[in-house]
Structure 1
Amino acid sequence: MEPFIEGGTLIFFDEVQSCPNARTAIKFLVQDGRFDYIESGSLFGINYQDVSSYPVGFEMQHEMHSLDFEEYLWGKGIGEEVIAVLRESFIQRKPLNPIIHKAMMRNFREYMVVGGMPRVINKFIETGDISKVIQEQKDIINGYRDDVKKYAGTNKNKVQETFDSIPEQLNKKNKRYFLTMLSKEPRMRTYKDSIMWLFDANIASPFYNISAIEFPLSLNEKRNLFKVYMKDTGLLVAMSFGNIQNEVLNGNIEINEGSILENALAEAFVKNGHRLNYYDRKKTNQHGN
């Protein structure tokens, strides 16, 4: 092994959630000053209770997402000059050249099916085989389920139930998450921790109802009324019932009550740092789950 070089070595700690107190120790390593460090973990948001002391002032956090559509195009070798044309067309509100538009729509449909997980994209680029893409996605989904069993504690069954219900919940006309689909006698207080676990684990995103379109919108949020979107649309497609991949690839992007397209748009907003809300004028007085 090459020797560490002061001021020239970066040390990478992966899967830090498996050793929460490594985050406490990083303070002393940073104070030492000889090397630089990166900590990576998939479940930072849910193991905060296990960290004895946070390294305040010694740790800068960055939330990572799966690849967005532009990054997907990079992965496929589509040049910046083409992407610049797309960007300029959007800014100027001008239609694209029909040939470019057709090609980009094909790429976008692929992106909805493949998603933004790097290993899944690599598999698609290497093989072009959707069945192998689906297998990679199912491996990731099963990894999520394993994380639930390992980290969700006594809530693991409810978290699993909440997670598995997302495709069915979105496959409705209004897309709202109904706890009645999980239990005959649901209580928000019973499932709240399970739903928040998925949000904290960066697996899904909340989309809260607002009672009025008045800024700031957050003051009008009704937290008992919400929709839940997957952070990666490709994984949602893989979790959905039936062989819908070919339907989407062949142009039927409104399949499943438009849930796939709506999730892709919600995902794009989240990846660009936007908070999600929805307003339903006819149902502002409705009660929660």
Structure 2
Amino acid sequence: MSDLNYFFLQLQLQYKVDLTERKSIIIFDEVQLCPYARQAIKTLVKDGRYDYIETGSLISIKKNVKDILIPSEERKLQMHPMDFEEFLWALNDNSTMKLLKSVFDNKKNFGDRLNRKLMRDFRLYMLVGGMPQSINEYITTNNCRKVDMVKRDILNLYEDDFRKIDSTGRLAMLFEAIPSQLNKNTRGFQTKKVLNSYKTTDNSILSMISELKDSKVVSVAYHANDPNVGLSAYKDLNKFKLYLADTGLFVTLQFKDKDFTDNIIYEKLLNDKLSANLGYLYENAVAQILTSTGNELFYYTFSNVKQKKNYEIDFILSRKNKICPIEVKSSNYKVHTSIDEFYVKFSDRILNRYIIHSKDVSKDKDILCIPFYLTQFIAQKEDI
């Protein structure tokens, strides 16, 4: 950094490019592997000739800061996996989502034939996921086995990062347990059962969950003890659910211990043969959409003592001065006892009620029922 002219000359020679002042950008990829390159940003930005982007694993970036000066010039951008609309763009479809928005605004249905086609497209997106590498592999090869291999490589990198910051392996264990914990349909993630061979305190558990959340690899849904406007004020830090930030990775993580040839989930998911006990894949997909559109995740559980029944609202959004409960249904969508009981309990707080399922747009009393591929339109804050 003592001779920037020489540094820029070396870059141009190494990469055989011409740098043009105020028109060229330099990318520091995997910057966590060289912390001093991150520190150099301060000098490079002050020089003013070019702009810079740093990319890398957030977990390692946060840890690899020993003996370096963190540049105040950094502006952090939170990146999410590609959403369904971006997935369609990658497949050279630039019109579908615009048309869907128009139909959604008028609360019209699509007809069974078109809905089945759109749901198949959405299930393909769930299968491939939103990681650029896996989408590129799908476009290049149209081979689900190769896509699965790419996703397994990504998961291995994540788990390696977790072990770097937690040599006991507990973070990796929590991460790997996400699908099985959602499958158990409990009222929250049973951390102590996953880590039953370790002595843990509440503080250590909260610290590990914070690490997972900060990694952006995982999304955390907290229980809202009092589902009301300003949900963050009522969240229970000790009661939560974990979701993967990318549903495509979730699909692979669920069957990571099996060879791809045994992984019939791909065929079942794509052809809508998904069994009821795998419906939490759809729940993860909804969590991903809500998170990527800027929503914090909250859920709510409650009991009817007289009937001795437990109920759960999968997600709650806060809009205006009201709340919007969401129930995710992979099957038997005509029965929605939880959202009905929730309405009885909190009717004066509710703006809109939603059921997200695989069928066409419809209304059941005041409940708007929409297919999964329309979720982003209720998730966008200005659209509710």
Return the TM-score normalized by structure 2. Answer: 0.68
* Structure 2 residue aligned with 1:89: 103
Alignment pair present for 1:10 and 2:34: no
Q: Partner amino acid for 1:202?
A: K
Aligned to 1:189: 203
Instruction: Tell me how far 1:45 sits from its aligned partner.
Output: 7.6
Report if the CA contact (8 A) 2:206-2:238 is conserved.
no
Aligned pair in 2 of structure 1 residues 26, 132: CA closer, same or farther (>3 Å)? Answer: same
Match in the other structure for 2:366? none
Give, as a single letter, the amino acid of the residue that structure 2 aligns with 1:25.
A
1:144 CA displacement? 1.2
CA offset at residue 42 of structure 1?
2.1
| Per-residue deviation, 1:22 | 3.1
- The answer to whether residue 176 in structure 2 is matched with residue 164 in structure 1 is yes
Larger RCO, structure (CA 8 Å, separation 6 or more): 1
Corresponding position of 2:93: 78
Cα deviation, 1:166-194, whole Å, max 9, x if unaligned, reads 11111122462101331336543333333
CA offsets per residue over residues 63-86 of structure 1, 9 Å max, x none? 111110001111112232x32211
Moved over 4 A (4+): none
Asked whether the 8 Å contact 1:248–1:255 carries over to 2, the reply is no
Provide the residue aligned with 2:214 in structure 1.
200
User: Match for residue 39 of structure 1?
Assistant: 54
Match of residue 54 from structure 1: 70
Matches within 5 A, 1:131-146: 131-146=145-160
Q: Is the CA contact (8 Å cut-off) linking 1:207 and 1:228 kept in structure 2?
A: yes
* CA apart distance, 1:215: 2.1
**Bigger CA drift: 220-229 or 240-249?**
240-249
| Matched letter for residue 140 of structure 2 | E
Select the structure that is richer in helix. Answer: 1
When residues 193 and 21 of structure 1 are mapped into structure 2, their CA distance, relative to the original with a 3 A threshold, is farther
Amino acid in the other structure paired with 1:11: I
Distance across 1 between alignment mates of 2:128 and 2:44: 39
Per the alignment, in what secondary structure is the counterpart of residue 116 of structure 1? coil
**Which structure's CA Rg is the greater one?**
2
Contact 2:225/2:235 (<8 A) preserved: yes
Rounded to whole Å, the distance in 1 between the matches of 2:135 and 2:201 is 39
Code of the residue aligned with 2:71 in structure 1: it is: P
Match of 2:302 in 1: 281
- Alpha carbons of structure 1 residues 265 and 175: separation in structure 2 relative to 1, 3 Å: farther
- The question of 1:258 aligning with 2:270 is answered no
Question: How far does residue 88 in structure 1 lie from its aligned partner after superposition?
Answer: 1.0
Let me know the Cα RMSD of the aligned residues.
Answer: 2.3
Q: Give the letter for the 1:15 counterpart.
A: E
Q: Partner amino acid for 1:246?
A: E
* Matched letter for residue 180 of structure 1: K
Q: How far does the alpha carbon of each residue in 1:133-176 deviate from its partner, in whole angstroms, 9 at most, with x for none?
A: 21111111111122223x3144x511111111111111122462
Whole-angstrom distance in 2 between the partners of 1:89 and 1:124? 29
Which 5+ residue runs of structure 1 have no aligned equivalent?
285-289
Distance in 1 (alpha carbons) for counterparts of 2:189 and 2:56 = 28
Question: What displacement does 1:256 show?
Answer: 3.2
Cα distance between partner residues in 2 of 1:42 and 1:183? 25
Cα displacement (A) at 1:236: 0.7
1:23 Cα offset (Å): 3.0
Superposition pairs of residues 220-259 of structure 1, within 5 angstroms: 220-241=234-255, 243-253=264-274, 255-259=276-280
Give me the whole-angstrom Cα distance separating, in 1, the residues matched to 2:37 and 2:281. 39
Measured in 1, the distance between the counterparts of 2:171 and 2:246 equals: 18
SS of equivalent residue, structure 2 residue 81: coil
Out of 161, 165, 169, the residue aligned to residue 147 of structure 1 is 161
Please report how far the alpha carbon of residue 234 of structure 1 lies from its aligned counterpart in structure 2 after TM superposition: 0.7
1:73-110 deviation digits (Å, cap 9, x = unpaired): 11112232x32211111222111244432221110011
Determine if contact 1:169/1:178 at 8 Å carries over to the other structure: yes
Query: Is the 1:152–1:197 Cα contact (8 Å) retained in structure 2?
Result: no
Is residue 231 of structure 2 the alignment partner of residue 210 of structure 1? no
Read off the aligned partner of 1:53 and give its amino acid letter. Answer: L
Deviation at 1:3, TM superposition (A): 4.1
Segments of structure 2 that go 5 or more residues without pairing to the other structure are 1-15, 256-262, 304-309, 312-384
Query: How far apart, CA to CA, are the structure 2 residues paired with 1:60 and 1:186?
Result: 36
What percentage of residue pairs aligned between the two structures are identical? 36
Paired residue type of 1:262: E
For the Cα contact (< 8 Å) 1:112–1:264, is it kept in 2? yes
Structure 1 segment 105-124 matched on structure 2, within 5 A: 105-124=119-138
Answer yes or no: is the 8 Å Cα contact 1:70–1:83 preserved in 2.
Answer: yes
Say if 2:63 and 2:165, in contact at 8 Å, map to a contact too: no
> Retained in 2: the 8 A contact 1:167–1:236?
yes
Aligned equivalents of 1:257, 1:145: Cα separation in 2: 24
Q: Secondary structure at the match of 1:207?
A: strand
Greater strand share, structure number: 2
Residue pair 1:46, 1:197 contacting (<8 A) in 2 also: no
